[in-house]
Amino acid sequence: MNPNRHLMTLDEFTFFQTKQFKNSTGELSTLLRDIGLACKLINKQVNKAGLTEILGAHGAVNVQGEEQMKLDVFANEVMISVLRNSADCAGIASEENDDIVVFEDDHSLNSKYVVMFDPLDGSSNIDVNASIGTIFCIYKRISELGKPCNIDDFLQKGRNIMASGYVIYGSSTMLVYASRLGVNGFTLEQSIGEFCLSHKDMRCPVDGKIYSINQGNTCKLNDKLKSYLDFCMADDKATRRPYSHRYIGSMVADLHRTLIKGGIFMYPEDRSNPKGKLRLLYECNPMSHIIEMAGGKGTSGTENILDMKPSELHQRVPIFIGSKNMVEQAVAMIYQ
């Protein structure tokens, strides 16, 4: 099969990537295929959410104390079910589950990988039809093969990520994933049910003119953060300011725009969220891995996100992420 052929599916693409590593077993690409399957199942429900009894609140709250929307619960159950039946996953951690979920069947006990995910990020946008997404990252387990995976497999630094990605359920459904070979985007061709390569070798522009933050939180920010926002809004043609402000309130959508157009996305610490709002393990780490593999940067303000040693499953961190030059300038103005 000619790898330069126009239509290339996710499976074919990862197959060709795998061939570049002589002792690769193909398990990682199989795992990606399984995650792609789960997201196609989620996509079907997201696409018809208005027509079926799946909209609205589920009537429970998750470990974050956030009200669970029915689609959150559905997406979480699909991800867990598909990964439990995958030949290559020893266990998962999810935003929707208090603890890790260990897969105890023989196959899973001998699987090399664990997966962390936010099954449906941006769920507050579900009822208003704004873009939402699934975020995931894959680690090689550090616990002994043949035995159940454990919490240490999940508290690894983001630097150890083998592959990360997201699926954005928007005007089109697109899977973007990063491996050590780079970042590539696949658009779902609904007529054949395949993710097809549409954005090869994605790069995050080193500069941009969009800043993305929940401006409504300004009153809760410290003075340095307020000064940086004033900088973004100041008139200076030489530095292409004022910047444009864009904020969808769905991390996947805001970061997909940032990856493609450049800019900076921020969810800093504030009076209500002293450690920030977004979670390190299954939001900030995978998104920082993707952005960094595309030439951008992700930091807490004081530390590169991928170098942070996690202490607990659902810990939150502040995040400044996007175009390298913009992130570095913001950090210098706020934290140095």
Closest separation between CB of residue 277 and ligand P6P, Å?
6
Query: What residue ranges in the chain does DSSP mark as E strands?
Result: 57-61, 67-69, 89-94, 101-102, 113-121, 132-140, 163-169, 173-179, 182-189, 194-199, 210-212, 244-245, 264-267, 297-299, 319-322
Q: Answer for the pair 138, 115: CB distance below 8 angstroms, yes or no.
A: yes
| Rounded to 5°, angle at Cα 72 from 69 and 74 | 115
Closest separation between CB of residue 8 and ligand P6P, Å?
30
Q: Which is nearer to ligand P6P, 205 or 276 (CB)?
A: 276
Q: Which is nearer to ligand P6P, 17 or 173 (CB)?
A: 173
Q: Which is nearer to ligand P6P, 9 or 62 (CB)?
A: 62
| Rounded to 5°, angle at Cα 95 from 139 and 286 | 40
Closest separation between CB of residue 252 and ligand P6P, Å?
7
Closest separation between CB of residue 99 and ligand P6P, Å?
20
Closest separation between CB of residue 249 and ligand P6P, Å?
5
Closest separation between CB of residue 149 and ligand P6P, Å?
26
* Cβ neighbour number for residue 129 with a 10 Å cutoff: 11
Closest separation between CB of residue 133 and ligand P6P, Å?
8
Q: Answer for the pair 196, 189: CB distance below 8 angstroms, yes or no.
A: yes
Q: Which is nearer to ligand P6P, 178 or 251 (CB)?
A: 251
Q: Answer for the pair 73, 96: CB distance below 8 angstroms, yes or no.
A: yes
Question: What tokens were used for 45?
Answer: 């429900």
Closest separation between CB of residue 211 and ligand P6P, Å?
14
Rounded to whole angstroms, the Cα distance separating 246 from 264 reads: 10
CA diameter of the chain: 63
Q: Answer for the pair 268, 143: CB distance below 8 angstroms, yes or no.
A: no
Length of the chain: 336
| Closest to 142 measured CA to CA, from 116, 164, 160, 158 | 160
> 205 preceded by cis ω (within 30°)?
no
Q: Which residues bind ligand P6P (CB under 6 A)?
A: 121-122, 124, 214, 249-251, 254, 277
Residues 6+ apart with CB under 8 A from 240: 209
Question: What tokens were used for 329?
Answer: 């300038």
